[in-house]
Amino acid sequence: MSDDLQQRLDFAVAATQRSAKLTLEYFGASDLDQSTKHDGTPVTVADRACETDLRKQISDAYPEDSILGEEFERKVGTSEYEWIIDPIDGTISFVQGVPLFGTMFACMKNGHPVLGVITMPALDETIYAAEGLGCWHTTQGAMPKRAQVSTVDQLDQSLINTTSMSYFRTPAHRRLYEQLDAHAKHTRGWSDCYGWALLATGRVDAMVEPVLSIWDFAAAIPIINEAGGRCTDLSGIETFESCELVASNGVLHDQLLVLIKSQVGPKS
């Protein structure tokens, strides 16, 4: 599988970087064509252009694979592989002219994420990984370097990141946010996919995201794991079915789970 996985990873990196660059043609435009989806989040012509391009590349290279993207209907294939696309993760950042947005691209085998790529086109930064092949980071066109999570092992010395406090919607989640802020050295809201890149490269120590869709985190799972971190849901279960994720450098994970469970309790 390793040769096939390496080929798929090479394809995914090149495809993501190509499609992500399309979004820069629209970034900062004053007349950006956008609308609001049923969940209240924006979608733009750039989202659709990027996903359309990625879908075409997949269909050309792997026509038997399934495709699940945020903006268009699922394509059901005949192989054991499915590609997961988030064309612009951080569309709010994108429409506000903030460069902390990116394209997330993952491949799952029999429902399990085996590779992931995150490209931040406005920052010229890409991070990617596949199971058993390590996690790699490149920026400004430099040669890729091995990515590694931090070694911070005490919660009171950690920097915990999340996309937005607005995702902590229930009273229990609001209490959790307050406790994370109280127990960490720092908390920040560096948004969306950029947080996964920061965690995998040791620039933050943990991410807590209580509300997600599969395309928001499928690429992050292999990236964080291959960088030496750990990913679970808020109950500590290593599952890809929950719409929530706690990701950390690994050594902080149990401390985080104790704090989280004290506020939201175990999953029923």
Indicate which CATH number applies to the domain containing 223. 3.40.190.80
Domain count, the chain: 2
Q: Tell me the C-alpha distance between 72 and 93, whole Å.
A: 21
> Greater confidence, 1 or 6?
6
How many whole angstroms separate alpha carbon 89 and alpha carbon 4? 27
Tell whether 30 and 139 lie within a shared domain: yes
Instruction: Supply the pTM of this predicted model.
Output: 0.94
**89 & 207 share domain:** no
Question: How much is the pLDDT for 155?
Answer: 96
Q: Kindly state whether residues 167 and 57 are assigned to the same domain.
A: no
Tokens 């430099």, located at residue = 142
Specify whether 137 is located in the same domain as 232: no
Shared domain for 12 and 114, answered yes or no, is: yes
Nearest Cα residue to 93 out of 159, 204, 190, 19: 190
SS (H, E, C) 93-150: HHHCCCCCCEEEEEEEECCEEEEEEEEECCCCEEEEEECCCEEEEEECCCCCEECCCC
CA distance 137 to 253: 23
pLDDT tens digit sequence for 102-154: 999 999 999 999 999 999 999 999 999 999 999 999 999 899 999 999 999 99
Q: How many residues does the chain have?
A: 268
pLDDT of 236 reads: 92
> What CATH number is attached to the domain comprising 28?
3.30.540.10
